[in-house]
A and B are shown apart, each in its own frame.
Chain A
């Protein structure tokens, strides 16, 4: 069948119709293009430029070119690597958890049962909750009068009694607990959205494949492994990409839940950058931070997208 050529920048000849279409297309894209260039493109450039200078808002007169000085300082600083570590732990634990839990719940909600529709609508609630509110919510849950705090204490007491140890439950004052609590809050908020994606993927699987498999003698586990899972690869990748990007960008939650603490236990890279910029007012260095983070996240995005498009989808 005939295939129109798409996107060729220099065609041999454009009919008048095609030329007017080109003008029309760019005209209605102009506002978006301008907005993005102005508010994203330009700042990216300025960000790079500023990151090559020493510029602290406390001494606004000084704007000294230091080349890669800022970058070197950052790359040799404890703060940077610490925050990278925190973010890696945070994201590295969150993403698989999100995928697993969401997959499990999606499998469950894909079955036929009374009230399925209502239960599915519930999935939208955590998604509609802003990150800051999520943080405040978990502050309450794990705080002095929070029910989860009580549950944790009871569990620890029980464990103490059973094993004879004397673990003291410090709650959010403990770095380990704070970090993992942040993960728990983050996972809780992001699971439902991933769930919706997986449920949508389930709907897309043609039921004939299951019927054919049953006729061929496959049991439930086989059917899951050989039919469901391949179809899920694509959405899982999507959830993984989105989850990773969100994980490294997490800020709202940290702001309200831990404020980076206790100490610097939950200093994720976004928080570290924020502190650098608006705490120490070290704009030059903060820009370098931002740039580094952008490079990291964009390379991750590229890796993921490569994987996604190389694998292709089951549908073709």
Chain B
């Protein structure tokens, strides 16, 4: 029905470049997330796909049709806004029906679709109310219903969950994922919440400062980040970084840090290219640092803060004035001030160039 292709999109506002040569292919029926920090250009990109903004350079295609200069009302899209953008002067029913009325659908068809949409979003009892009488979660459902009844090729969602309270957000994530599976349409989703993107997406496009950083499945992004920005952005608590020297001792590669030595597995060592620098940034996620390990520990660190979180325990540790976090399942012990052994899981190491931030490991 409609895959979306962005070709060399550039958008400047005066001196500021919001999007820089962005090329992206979104498959039909895919759930693709544009992920990045505030101001990275993801909302601008979405607006361009919607037709609400025109790019300074580049083109937008829906399937093979060039829609770059087509106004939004003639693109087959529906959009859910962060602020829901419900029409305050209309009842919920009219809000949902509005787009259908604009397309001059027959009256009973409209009635039919609105009722279906309302049922799908469980808001039939709210149809006669005005938006200001609804809660945040209800408004969001209305916004979704409004988009669903249009039955477009592409759904655009601009941070629709960020104004909801935490519990509702979690519920709605599952809702949206289910909706996507049922509707079988292309979803382009914008968010700054990396957890959200990991849970919901088929693929994630990470954007920073207007440039595409990496495009991949959640697993790829999480396990094989191509640069330090991505590595640090995705994952909570974020990845820890250490500076170290790359040595070759007795045929084994190892990283020598301020107060630790860490051996590289052959698999990882193989992936190092020939022009790997001597100084590297070592990245390791908190869950890949074993506390009180069975193996020989990589180092001993002092506990600075302990944060119990249900079944997990997060420890902020200090190793020669470098602080980092480790995650463990255990709930007992490890008081503040304790010096404990830790072990870096060698199969989960990430190596980055210390200045460019790019990964030093060639992909498998």
Contacts and interface: CB of A to CB of B under 8 A. Distances in A.
Interface of A: 1-5, 15, 17
Contacts of B54: 15, 17
B14 A4 contact: yes
Interface in B229-283: none
Main secondary structure of the interface of A (DSSP, over half): loop
A5 B13 CA distance: 7
A307 to B, nearest CB: 31
Contacts of B309: none
Main secondary structure of the interface of B (DSSP, over half): loop
Interface residues of B, number: 9
A89 to B, nearest CB: 51
Interface string B12-30: 0110101000000000000
Given A15-B54, A17-B54, A1 B14 contact: no
5 contacts: A1-B39, A2-B44, A3-B14, A5-B14, A15-B56
Contacts of B38: 1
B20 to A, nearest CB: 12
Nearest to B13: A2
Interface string B39-79: 10000100000000010100000000000000000000000
A276 B311 CA distance: 91
Contact of A3 (B16, B44, B56): B16
Contacts of A2: 13, 16, 18, 39, 44
A1 B54 CA distance: 18
Nearest to B39: A1
Interface string B132-168: 0000000000000000000000000000000000000
Nearest to B56: A15
A15 B13 CA distance: 12
Contacts of B44: 2
A2 B39 CA distance: 8
A5 B39 CA distance: 17
Contacts of A5: 13-14
Nearest to B16: A2
Nearest to B71: A17
Most chain B beta-carbon neighbours within 10 Å: one of A2, A4, A5, A17: A2
Contacts of A17: 54
| Chain A to chain B: the 5 pairs with minimum beta-carbon distance, closest first | A5-B14, A2-B13, A2-B16, A2-B18, A1-B39
B295 to A, nearest CB: 48
Given A3-B13, A17-B54, 11 more contacts: A1-B38, A2-B13, A2-B18, A2-B39, A3-B14, A3-B16, A4-B13, A4-B14, A5-B13, A5-B14, A15-B56
Nearest to A11: B14
Nearest to B53: A17
Nearest to A12: B14
Contacts of B13: 2-5
